[in-house]
Amino acid sequence: MITGASSGIGLAFAHALAARGADLILVARSGDKLNSLARELVHCHGILARALVADLTESGAASDVHARASALGLTPNIVINNAGFATHGHFDTLSLERQLDEISLNCRAVVELTHAALPAMLNQGEGSIINVASTAALQPLPYMAIYGATKAFVLSFSEALWQEYRARGVRVLAVCPGATDTAFFDVVGAAEAGVGTRMATDTVVNASLQALDRGQSHVVPGGANRMLGLLPRILPRQTILQIVANMLRPRHQGSM
């Protein structure tokens, strides 16, 4: 089961796992995109692919989509919590409702779907949960404060579960990609942010699946990203905040 499967990293996970012969449950809000993707994957790889449309910002939606899959006899043994979005701008000027939806999708939906999926995995004595966090989890993000905080939650939550369940056959991995070649920054209204070269989605997915196979608790794809991730451990926190603020400061008003 892949959330946010219709684009970006979620789409790359769908193609990579289909190529490995995995049957897929594709979850996103766009029914047209999901159904088109499901048909493509079935045609190209001969797998089973089922599209389940859901708005995971809604309370209970993630639990419900797992129940819908189970009712179809499609209880997943791999769950990839990829769906998420960010807001960019001064915290006080951003829509509170939008930021609360951001928390719901980035955090609550991850918790709900993980909680729904774990019992069957534990009964089987095996299973995998991949939660897509971000290098944003490694330090606070001025002007993207809610996004950074939600991804820090995902990283902490995932690593705690890694320790809780690894002896019971369930692998949990937090993926912390840096800037990736998706529409993320365009959608969030931060296309001008100084985030450097963007990594290919396939590179992120391959690093993630390799880390899962090795039983890691988290992975930061890319050597440059791993080096940058070490800076908060070396430099004073206020220095890091100033650097990040200079990268992400809105260049114009009217950010999302």
Q: 3 pairs with which residues across the strands?
A: 27
Rounded to whole angstroms, what are the CA distances from 128 to 28, 121, 135, 199, 242? 20, 8, 21, 24, 37
Annotated catalytic residue within 13, 143, 147, 162: 147
Return d(Cα 149, Cα 172) in angstroms, integer: 20
Angle at 123 between CA 118 and CA 128, to 5 degrees: 45
User: Phi and psi dihedrals of 51, rounded to 5?
Assistant: -95, 130
Distance of CA 242 to the CA centre of its chain: 26
Is residue 143 flagged as an active site residue? no
User: Phi and psi dihedrals of 85, rounded to 5?
Assistant: -155, 170
Return d(Cα 238, Cα 236) in angstroms, integer: 5
Tokens linked to 86: 């960010």
Which of 218, 212, 219, 109 is closest to 160 using CA atoms? 218
Half-sphere exposure of 230 (CA within 13 A, CB side): 5
Return d(Cα 155, Cα 130) in angstroms, integer: 11
Catalytic residues: 147
